[in-house]
Structure formats: structure tokens, C-alpha cells
Amino acid sequence: MERIPILQMGQFLLVTIQVDMHDRLALALQDDLTDRIVKTSASGVLIDISSLEIVDSFIGRVLGNIATVSQLLGTETVIVGMQPAIAITLVELGLSLSGVRTAANIDAGMRLLQISLGAPFHGGLDANP
């Protein structure tokens, strides 16, 4: 089965969702990420959804689950780049995603993670830790 790639960048994991995910693919991402968090002891997860054209209740629930599970494992998850049209639609749908941290873009998300980890921010993406 098709899988969504998970990249490691230093102490963070980065997932860029570029396809319209069917339900099983979304669930597979949840499993794969949990696995990688445990294996890598990553301290933060960034999920870039800027290419995602819709978030319905199922995908919203999966994103919420990822945030909750990662928190239980001692890892912060930040969802970045949600399109404004999606935010408006989610509110009307009734999905608040209240337990999910969000940021406008990857840089802002990275900064948010650095701050919550209490580490100094060096800026930019460091692919070779």
C-alpha cells in the first residue's frame, strides 16, 4: 500500500501531506508516525497540510489522535499551513481540533517546537544534524 513519507530533521519529524488521503492512508500515517516517534525519540513532529484541500471529520480526527498520542509519548505535534477555507469549514462542521497546536508555516511551527522545548532557535531547516 501507498504510504506518506516521514522525514527526520534533527530532533524533529516532518510529514508533508501532498495527496488527498483516503481513510486507510490516514490511519497508516497515524501508525507509522507513532512507530517513528518511538524509534527515533523525536522531540517534535511537524505535519504540513498546506497542500491539503479538505479536512473532513475523519482526517480531523486522525490529526487530533496523532497529536494526543504523540503527547502521551512525550512529543509535541504542530500542524502547519492549514488553508483558510479549511479553517472556516472546520468551524462550521463543528470540529474544533482543540488539542492540536497549529502554526502558519514550517518555520513558525519549528519555532513553536523550539520554544516549547526550551531550546534556542537556530533558524532554518537542519537536514544534517
Partner 1 sequence: MPILETITILDSADIVRVRQKVRSQTVALGFGLVDQTKIVTAASEIARNTLDYGGGGSVTLEVLESAHRVGLRLTFTDQGAGIANIELALQNGYTTGSGLGLGLGGAKRLMHEFEITSEVGKGTCVTTVRWRQ
- Using CB under 8 A as the criterion, what x/- string covers residues 78-107 for binding partner 1? -----xxxx-xx--xxxx------------
CB-hemisphere CA count at 13 Å for 50? 10
Residue 9 or residue 28: which is nearer to partner 1 going by CB?
28
CA atoms of 105 and 62, how far apart (whole Å): 20
- Residues in the site for ligand ATP, rule: CB under 6 A? 57-58
In the complex, minimum distance from the CB of residue 56 to ligand ATP, in angstroms, rounded to a whole number: 8
Q: Determine, following the binding rule CB under 8 A, whether residue 24 of this chain makes contact with partner 1.
A: yes
Q: Which does 3 bind (CB under 5 to 8 A by kind): ligand ATP, partner 1, none?
A: none
Extract the runs of DSSP E, i.e. beta strands, from the chain.
6-9, 12-16, 44-48, 76-80, 101-103
In the complex, minimum distance from the CB of residue 2 to ligand ATP, in angstroms, rounded to a whole number: 23
Q: Are 71 and 45 in contact (CB under 8 A)?
A: no
